[in-house]
Structure 1
């Protein structure tokens, strides 16, 4: 049975409530993203924090989901998911990460806004052949 500490429910609600939908990102296919602050990445199990991206990817309006997990003062591990029309591994590769077409990630230093700006640029730079027709 999948169980979580009760305090995770409040944190999950707070994180999901702060999620942002950018319908124009990812070549107009949409990006939904959320941030997990350092206090939550250190307080909860990796499985709980990593599972957030699978919840975000259910947003019908966004092809790409991203969760930025703060692991240091200015360090973020970002998990990416796609429903298949965007090759998130190609975008992650531009940022020094990797993965596969539907699930990828990267680590970056900077503010969350800087990491998101880099992600937006990478998603926009994914070559057209990386997009399914």
Structure 2
């Protein structure tokens, strides 16, 4: 009986830690982020970071909603954060760019690097690699 209680306590503590960790990561996203660089190749074998002028933005709110200037057809939705990915679900009925599956849902792997977030799409096949670097603007 004591062993069962001990195992249950350990399981609950591990589960709450992962929930706390996900919530902590979600808090790291809060605010407005602007695209400043893209990583990829021009078709050759040499991938590199390239600066972006007037990059699009994401604004993540603490209630699980976001707004973005990425697409003009749809600018708002909801998001969820896990330990290594963020899922963006655009909230406009019928919104579909043709690259995501399901329609309107974009899953990006993320990593925090210095003061930036690097997003790597899971919905695109980039042989040379593709990532997007954002800096916090507010």
Q: Give the TM-score taking structure 1 as reference length.
A: 0.35
Q: Which has the higher helix share?
A: 1
Q: Which has the higher strand share?
A: 2
> Which protein, 1 or 2, shows the higher relative CO under an 8 Å CA cutoff with sep ≥ 6?
2
Of the two, which has the highest radius of gyration?
2
Q: Give the TM-score taking structure 2 as reference length.
A: 0.34
